[in-house]
Amino acid sequence: MSTYQNTLAHAQGLDAVDPLRSFRNEFHFPQHAGRDVLYFTGNSLGLQPKAAADALKQELDDWARFGVEGHFHAKHPWYSYHEELTPSLARLVGALPEEVVAMNQLTSNLHFLMVSFYRPSGKRTKILTEQRPFPSDTYAFASQIAFHGGDPAMDLVEVQPREGEHTLRTEDIIAKINELSEELALVCFGGVNFYTGQAFDMAAITQAAQAVGATAGFDLAHAAGNLHVKLHDWNVDFACWCSYKYLNSGPGSVAGAFVHQRHLGPKPAQGLPRNEGTLSEKAASPAGSLSGDPTEVCLGNGLPLFAGWWGHNKSERFKMERTFKPMPTAEAWQVSNAPVFSMAVHRVALEQFDRAGISQLRAKSEQLTAYLAFIIAEVAQHSGTHLEVITPNDPMQRGCQLSILAHGHGKALFNRITERGVVADWREPNVIRVAPVPMYNSFEDVYRFGVILTECLSASH
């Protein structure tokens, strides 16, 4: 029994009481046949906030006006630009400010964090992930394993769904963690799988991983800005995400990283056991040409990291000394200075998340996606088509995306809805992904999607 109705009036009624409805006007929508497209790919590239152009113009103007002095005299000084993003990022992923930093790109961050958190030794060499993670993550895992001299075919393990099922059961994930136990170095899942749209129980996975002595990390590409994430409370070791999907910060924009508080802090003055074979020893010149301390590139608890000048303690950064003194925060993992142009867009996009609030967004999202599930079921029933949603039905196990298997229609159906102004996406081998985002999608969008889907299905008979 559903409280929803497949009518325009019902959808418009839901929009009328949506406290977030005005955010839609803050975005540019691509046009199709004189009206806004039905944009359901905020999980791939979020729409452009209208405020982005002015934010970019500000940086260009400050660059023209100040040249290098813009590092300190720009309206948003470039030297500390990333710091302006920190409080919003912390709220977004449920972290302390010192635990997050905006830097680099997503896969780069995954690599940099694995340098610290994937440290195979002895028989503890394996990485456990979900079935079919995003390919970039698979490449990153496999290449890290190979980099440490391991064999990806042996050391990269994916949890598989049960026969006849599309998604994973938490109990099976935990059973696999316990089975691998002391062979497990790292458990690294997506927060939400890009293909199935399944959201994983990050708290339970983290607890199980740490209980067997492994570290737990998450790729939040499809979770940041989509789920209500609480990284600190869940005790996650590390996480990373991109900003161009749900976070609307533009193609290739700056990514984010989280490192739990307990891993932070500079190296104490003495008494720390040195990690055999860390970068520091390898970097030490045999000719003894380093003056002063050799470059000791690890953190207080012996965690190694790949260092760069932007991770150096900022109060001494411009002394340009040889010895690396890490920031006592997640900023220690920064290697390079801040990409200000992409951060300018990220700043205004995050400001919208602050105004909307992640709990309010999530509340709307659960309703919007439930409405989409209802509409898809209606269309399937009335058109006599088998439209199978493989994303879990339980709101706790999904974000806003639904992945549809259109048995026998697949790509042709996808092409037909695309011609009608629906922007969804097709993912090989046979899924149509539809992601109504709470920030700018409406219930009317979802209703209209149902109308087009029905028309396209009847045309194909």
Ligand X SMILES: *Cc1c(COP(=O)(O)O)cnc(C)c1O
d(CA 455, CA 241): 37
Question: Is the CB of 44 or the CB of 441 nearer to ligand X?
Answer: 44
Return residues touching ligand X (CB under 6 A). 105-107, 134, 136-137, 190, 194, 219, 221-222, 242
Instruction: Please report, as a single letter, which amino acid is at residue 316.
Output: E
Report in angstroms how near the CB of residue 187 gets to ligand X at its nearest: 15
d(CA 270, CA 272): 6
- Bond from prior residue into 429 cis (ω within 30 degrees of 0): yes
- Write the DSSP string, 51-81: THHHHHHHHHHHHHHHGGGHHHHSSS-GGGH
Show the tokens assigned to 408. 């026998």
Report in angstroms how near the CB of residue 183 gets to ligand X at its nearest: 24
Taking CA atoms, 293 is separated from 38, 269, 323, in Å, by: 60, 12, 6
Question: Is the CB of 225 or the CB of 450 nearer to ligand X?
Answer: 225
Report in angstroms how near the CB of residue 284 gets to ligand X at its nearest: 32
Burial of 328 from C-beta contacts in 10 A (0-12 / 13-18 / 19+)? middle
Report in angstroms how near the CB of residue 410 gets to ligand X at its nearest: 22
Report in angstroms how near the CB of residue 270 gets to ligand X at its nearest: 39
Question: Is the CB of 82 or the CB of 222 nearer to ligand X?
Answer: 222
Three-state DSSP string of 204-260: HHHHHHHHCCCEEEEECCCCCCCCCCCCCCCCCCEEEECCCCCCCCCCCCCEEEEEC
Report in angstroms how near the CB of residue 403 gets to ligand X at its nearest: 14
- Write the DSSP string, 378-392: HHHHHHT--EEE-S-
d(CA 111, CA 139): 10
d(CA 339, CA 324): 22
**The dihedral formed by the CA atoms of 425, 429, 431 and 432, expressed in degrees to the nearest 10:** 20
Show the tokens assigned to 155. 């050391």
Report in angstroms how near the CB of residue 417 gets to ligand X at its nearest: 23
Q: Give 250's DSSP letter.
A: -
Report in angstroms how near the CB of residue 333 gets to ligand X at its nearest: 15
Alpha helix locations (H) across 67-119?
Answer: 70-73, 81-93, 106-117
Report in angstroms how near the CB of residue 317 gets to ligand X at its nearest: 26
SS3 159: strand
Report in angstroms how near the CB of residue 116 gets to ligand X at its nearest: 18
Question: Is the CB of 90 or the CB of 239 nearer to ligand X?
Answer: 239
Question: Is the CB of 222 or the CB of 416 nearer to ligand X?
Answer: 222
d(CA 273, CA 275): 6
- Is the dihedral angle over the CA atoms 372, 401, 406, 461 positive or is it negative? positive
Question: Is the CB of 132 or the CB of 314 nearer to ligand X?
Answer: 132
Question: Is the CB of 27 or the CB of 194 nearer to ligand X?
Answer: 194
Report in angstroms how near the CB of residue 248 gets to ligand X at its nearest: 14
Question: Is the CB of 20 or the CB of 240 nearer to ligand X?
Answer: 240
Question: Is the CB of 66 or the CB of 426 nearer to ligand X?
Answer: 426
Question: Is the CB of 398 or the CB of 416 nearer to ligand X?
Answer: 398
Question: Is the CB of 59 or the CB of 219 nearer to ligand X?
Answer: 219
Instruction: Please report, as a single letter, which amino acid is at residue 39.
Output: Y
Show the tokens assigned to 10. 């019902």
Taking CA atoms, 181 is separated from 123, 124, 186, 302, 317, in Å, by: 10, 9, 10, 23, 42
d(CA 217, CA 105): 16
Q: Give 413's DSSP letter.
A: H
